[in-house]
Structure 1
C-alpha cells in the first residue's frame, strides 16, 4: 500500500483523503518509507523532520483544508518551525528556525505537511551542491547534475519521495531543475505567493512557487500557496483562483512564439534539435507557432548589474565576518555589485523598463513566448557550471542560465514543463512565459502540451547511465 500511494498523483491522494479512505498519517509513512529507500543515492532531502510530520498528521483540522494532509518538502532557504535552516552555507550551518516563515505557514494552514528540507545550491547557482549538505544527483543519471538551485525539490519529486515540493526562483532555480529532472515548476507573478520575511519586501525577482510531477498537481499546490499577506507589500488576493479547474481544461494557445536562444544566447545543437521537434509537434496539432522573440540584446549585462546590486543588499552586512565562507561565484556577484556606480545602476534600471515594455508589446500579439528551460542538457555533477556552450565561452556562472535569468527580470509568470528526452534518455523541458498574472492561462497551455506529448509522471529509480565524468 505505501508504494502504491507514492505512485499516485497528489490529486488522487487528495481524493482519497477527502473520502476518508486514507488518513494523512498513511501518506506521511508512505513518503518516509520511500525517502529512506532511495534518498541515499541522490541526497535530495538531507534534513528531515519525521516526528514533526507525524505529529502534524494527527491533527484533526487537516481534513477540511485544500491539501488535506499531503506531505511536501521545503527548499532549505525557507523556514519550518523547529527545523534546521542552513541555506546551504556554513554561515548558517547551525541555525534552527523558531517558526515557519509566512510562505510555509500558509501552506501548513492549508493542510500541507512538511516532511523535510530539500537541498539547494550554496546561496545561488544552478548546481545543487554546498559545503554543508553535500551534492544532490540527478536520478535519471546520478553522474549528472540535477540543476539548481531548487534541485533537491525536483529530485524528491522525480524519485517519488513526495507528491509536492516548495521551491523558489531568482534566475531559473525552479525551471532548470524541473527541466533536468522531468517535473513541472511555476515561477509566479511577484505577489501571487507571499514571501518570507527575510527578503527585501520590494524585490520583484525572488519568488516562491510550486513544483510537482504534473500540471494538475502543480495547480493544486499553487492554490494552497496564493493569497494576500500585509507583511508582503507585493502580495494581493488572487481573483482568478482556484487554478486547479483551469489546469484541468487543456487549451492550445491562439498564437505562440518560439525562440531557442532569445536571439542572442548560445544553445547546444541537441537542445536546438529537441526544440525544433517540439515546435513541429505543436504545429502538427494545429497550433500557430512563429519563430520570433523581442529584442533582448544587452539584457545579460543588465542582469549581471542588477543581480550584483541585489547581492550587495542581501549579503554586504555579512562580509566583515564571513567573507571567507562565500563561494567564489557568490563572492563574484557581491564584488560586481560593489563596483557599480549610480550611473550604471540607473542605466540598468532604464534598460529593464524598456525591455519589459518591449516584451509586453510582444505578448499583445502572442499568447506566450516559449524557450528551452536550459541551453544544454544535464552535465557532470562535479562541474559547477559549464565553461563553454556551442563554442562560446561562459565567463560567469550566470552566463549559462541567462535564458531563464533574463526572463526573471520581467516579473512575468513562467511555467516549466517536460516535453521530451535526449538521445541519451535525459529529460528536456521548456519554459512558457506569459503576461503578468496569467498563471491560469499558462496552466491551460501547459496541460495541453502535457497531453500532446503524453509524458505521464514517472517515478525514477536512481540509476547511473554513464561512466563518471570529470
Structure 2
C-alpha cells in the first residue's frame, strides 16, 4: 500500500508512511496531527494510550521536517517521521514510565531503554506510552493506575498482554508499529488477540539494556506491527549487540536489511516451495486449545501447503519446557522485583507477589534440575530442526476472553490453576529459546482474531521471518480493520 489521496495516513504501513514523509508527500507534523486525532477518536473506547507527550512530539516532528527540507530522501532514516507510543515498561527519557504500577506512578526516567533509543535513532517520533499489566506480569493489560485496555475487535474482550496497549493501538490504526517485550508470550499473545504481528527474536538480537541482570535470557524485546514486512523493517534498526549485555548476537542488522530488500514477488505463487513445516495442535503434551482456534489452524496449514510448504504433524519433545520456564521465570521475577515487593507489598498485585515468592523459595536443587532440563530441551529442539525448518502452532489456547476477568479460569473445559497456565502455548516455546512470531490467521465464526505461531531454530530469525512474510503477504488478514 502506498500513500495516496484515497488512503488515510494511518492505514499506511510504517514503511509507506516513512516513505511518504521522505518524499515530502506529507510532513511529519501532518502525520502527527493524524496520530493524535486518531487517539482522540478511538482511545476512549480501547484505552490503549495512557500517557501523551504532545509538546515534546511536535518539537521532534518540527525537527524532522527541518531535516527533510535539507537532506536528500535516500539519506533520511528509515522510520523518518513515524509516530509511536512506547510500552509503559520501557523507559522513555522525559516521558512518564509507570510499568502500570502505583509504585512508579510519577516516575520520569532520565534515559531511554535501548529499544526506544534505536527506534528514535531510526526517525521515530515518540508520542507517549501504551498500557500494560502491572510490571508486565500476565497477558491481560489492566492495572490500578489506568484500568483495562479493550480489544478493538470486541471492546468487551481482552487485548492480551503484556504488550496489549501496543497491539490495541496498532490494530486501532493509532500507529503502524510499536515496541514490546515477551517473557511468556507478551508480544505473541496480544498480537494474536488483536490481529497484528508480534515477533520474539532470538536471545541477544535486541539486547535488553540497560538491565540489572545482563545474563537473563528468557525475556526478549521486539517489534509489533500490522505486517511482517514492517516487523522486518523494525528489526533492521533494532538488531545488533550492545556492550552492556554480554549475550552473543546471532543475527545482525545487515541480515535484516538484506531481507527487507528482497522482493517476495520474485518467488512466484509458491514462495514456500521446499520449506518443511511441522504442525501440532497440542504441543505433544495434551495442551488444551479451544476448538475454534484449532479449526483456523487447520485451514491455514492448508494455505501454507498451497504456498509450496510440506506440512506434516510433528513437534519436538517439550516435556522439559514447563520446568525450564517456571523456574527461570520465578528466578527472574524475584531478581527484578523482590525489593519492590518487600518495600511496597500493599501496592503490588497478588500475581506479582506470587511470582516473586516462588522465586525466593527456589532451592539450589531446583535450579540445578532446571539447568539439566534446559539442556535436554535444547537437544530435543535441535534434533527437531534438523528435520524441519519451521514449527507451526496455535499462538493462544483461548480466544480473546472477557475484559472483566483477570485471567481465564478454564480452557476447553480444563481448569487453570494459575494465572500463567493458560499461556502455555507461548511459554513452552519461550523455554526453548527459539525465535517465534505470531501472525494473523483469520477469525473465529464470531469475528474474534486468531493468531498462528511460527517457530524456528535459535538464530534463524531471518529464515523464520521470510516464511512468515510469504504467508502474511498471501493472506493479509490484518487488513480487516476493527469497526471503531
Q: Same fold per TM (> 0.5)? A: yes
Contact 1:214 1:457 in 2 (8 A): no
Q: What value does the CA root-mean-square deviation take over the aligned residues? A: 1.8
Match of 2:45 among 20, 23, 41: 41
Tell me which stretches of 4 or more aligned residues in structure 1 moved more than 6 Å.
none
Change (3 A) 1:199 1:210: farther
1:168 aligns with 2:181: yes
> Per the alignment, in what secondary structure is the counterpart of residue 144 of structure 1?
strand
Contact 2:325 2:430 in 1 (8 A): no
In the alignment, the residues of structure 1 paired with residue 305 and residue 156 of structure 2 have an alpha-carbon distance, to the nearest angstrom, of 35
> Per the alignment, in what secondary structure is the counterpart of residue 361 of structure 1?
helix
**Count of aligned pairs between the two proteins:** 462
Match of 1:379 among 386, 392, 401: 401
In the alignment, the residues of structure 2 paired with residue 358 and residue 26 of structure 1 have an alpha-carbon distance, to the nearest angstrom, of 52
Moved more, 259-268 or 78-87: 259-268
> Per the alignment, in what secondary structure is the counterpart of residue 191 of structure 1?
coil
> Per the alignment, in what secondary structure is the counterpart of residue 278 of structure 2?
strand
Match of 2:385 among 351, 360, 363: 363
- Which structure 2 residues correspond to residues 301-340 of structure 1 after superposition, within 5 A? 301-340=323-362
1:234 aligns with 2:247: yes
Match of 2:33 among 29, 33, 50: 29
User: CA offset at residue 247 of structure 1?
Assistant: 7.5
Contact 2:92 2:116 in 1 (8 A): yes
User: CA offset at residue 39 of structure 1?
Assistant: 0.4
Task: Give per-residue Cα distances to partners, 1:209-238, cap 9 Å, x unaligned.
Answer: 011111111111221212232122226443
Change (3 A) 1:107 1:372: same
TM-score of the two chains, using structure 2 as the length reference: 0.91
Contact 2:276 2:309 in 1 (8 A): yes
In the alignment, the residues of structure 1 paired with residue 60 and residue 309 of structure 2 have an alpha-carbon distance, to the nearest angstrom, of 46
Report which of the two has the higher share of helix: 2
Mind listing any 5+ residue stretches in structure 2 that lack a counterpart? Answer: none
Match of 1:410 in 2: 432
TM-score of the two chains, using structure 1 as the length reference: 0.94
Task: Give per-residue Cα distances to partners, 1:4-52, cap 9 Å, x unaligned.
Answer: 1111222211221222222211211111111111100000011111111
Match of 2:372 among 350, 359, 367: 350
Contact 2:236 2:253 in 1 (8 A): no
1:255 aligns with 2:276: yes
Contact 2:197 2:226 in 1 (8 A): yes
> Per the alignment, in what secondary structure is the counterpart of residue 134 of structure 2?
coil
In the alignment, the residues of structure 2 paired with residue 456 and residue 397 of structure 1 have an alpha-carbon distance, to the nearest angstrom, of 28
Match of 2:260 in 1: 244
Match of 1:270 among 279, 286, 292: 292
Structure number with higher relative contact order (C-alpha < 8 Å, ≥ 6 residues apart):
1
User: CA offset at residue 73 of structure 1?
Assistant: 1.7
User: CA offset at residue 154 of structure 1?
Assistant: 0.4
> Per the alignment, in what secondary structure is the counterpart of residue 483 of structure 2?
coil
In the alignment, the residues of structure 1 paired with residue 364 and residue 454 of structure 2 have an alpha-carbon distance, to the nearest angstrom, of 34
Match of 2:129 among 104, 110, 117: 117
Match of 2:204 in 1: 191
User: CA offset at residue 282 of structure 1?
Assistant: 2.3
